[in-house]
């Protein structure tokens, strides 16, 4: 296996996956983020890392965002927005945290590869990312990482669409970016 061929295969697979995401669901997320006063992002492992990157991007756009770690309780008020990411939609910690947020009256947006999963069932809005999660479906990806790769791309697109909706310029975002050291 050579890098050139592998990278082409990975990018082609990633493009197919991202193209399978429902644009109207993404628009609903952008609208919800535009109206949110506080966004809490919930995820563990690789999905949590992608959501942590989104929290940083939301900060660049000017939206208050925080990630909740796997050992932290989700402390939200009714009407707050919670974005939960889990490829399987069955990961115990995000499922428990999403349930706690639901009980507190938060609005839940789930991003998962399984639209029939328990996390999807808790959601007010769902963004289904059509990535296979079985061990024999890795294709060119390492350990079923297509979901996380697509999650990062979708989250980046969401932040760009949100910036456009809010009239936030690249200069505004750069001003909120950590200075180069």
Q: What separation in angstroms does the CA of 123 have from each of 25, 39, 56, 74?
A: 12, 15, 23, 15
Sheet strands (E) in the chain:
39-42, 65-68, 81-85, 107-112, 125-128
Q: What is the DSSP letter of 135?
A: G
Task: Please give the pLDDT value at position 73.
Answer: 86
Give pLDDT, residue 33.
97
Q: What is the pLDDT of residues 100-110, one digit of tens each?
A: 999 999 999 99
DSSP 102: H
Helix ranges, the chain (H): 3-19, 23-35, 45-61, 92-103, 118-122, 146-166, 170-176
Give residue 89's pLDDT.
Answer: 95
Is the CB of residue 125 less than 8 Å from the CB of residue 106? Answer: no
Which of the residues 116, 148, 149, 171 is marked catalytic? Answer: 148
Over 90: is that where the pLDDT of 24 sits? yes
For the chain, the average pLDDT equals 93
Summarize pLDDT for 55-97 with one digit per residue, the tens: 999 999 999 999 998 888 888 999 999 999 999 999 999 999 9
Which domains does the chain possess?
3-167 (3.40.50.10490)
pLDDT at position 88 is: 94
Q: Transcribe 29-51 into DSSP letters.
A: HHHHHHH-S-EEEE--HHHHHHH
pTM, full prediction:
0.93
CA 154 – CA 77 distance, rounded (Å): 26
**Segment 123-158, tens digit of pLDDT:** 999 999 999 876 666 678 777 799 999 999 999 999
Question: Which residue in the block uniquely carries the two structure tokens 């791309």?
Answer: 153
Nearest to 15 by CA among 161, 158, 146, 162: 146
pLDDT band at residue 1 using 50, 70 and 90 as cut-offs: confident
In the annotation, is 148 catalytic?
yes
């Amino acid at each position: 296996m050579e890098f050139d061929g592998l990278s082409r295969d990975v990018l082609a697979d990633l493009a197919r996956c991202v193209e399978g995401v429902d644009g109207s669901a993404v628009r609903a997320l952008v609208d919800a983020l535009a109206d949110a006063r506080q966004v809490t992002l919930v995820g563990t492992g690789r999905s949590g890392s992608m959501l942590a990157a989104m929290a940083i991007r939301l900060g660049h756009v000017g939206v208050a965002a925080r990630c909740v770690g796997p050992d932290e309780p989700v402390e939200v008020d009714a009407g707050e927005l919670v974005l939960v990411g889990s490829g399987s939609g069955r990961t115990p910690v995000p499922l428990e945290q999403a349930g706690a947020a639901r009980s507190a009256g938060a609005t839940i947006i789930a991003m998962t590869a399984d639209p029939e999963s328990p996390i999807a069932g808790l959601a007010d809005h769902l963004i289904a990312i059509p990535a296979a999660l079985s061990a024999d479906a890795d294709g060119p990806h390492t350990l079923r990482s297509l979901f996380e790769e697509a999650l990062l791309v979708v989250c980046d697109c969401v932040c760009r669409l949100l910036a456009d909706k809010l009239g936030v310029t690249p200069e505004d975002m750069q001003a909120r970016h950590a200075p180069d050291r």
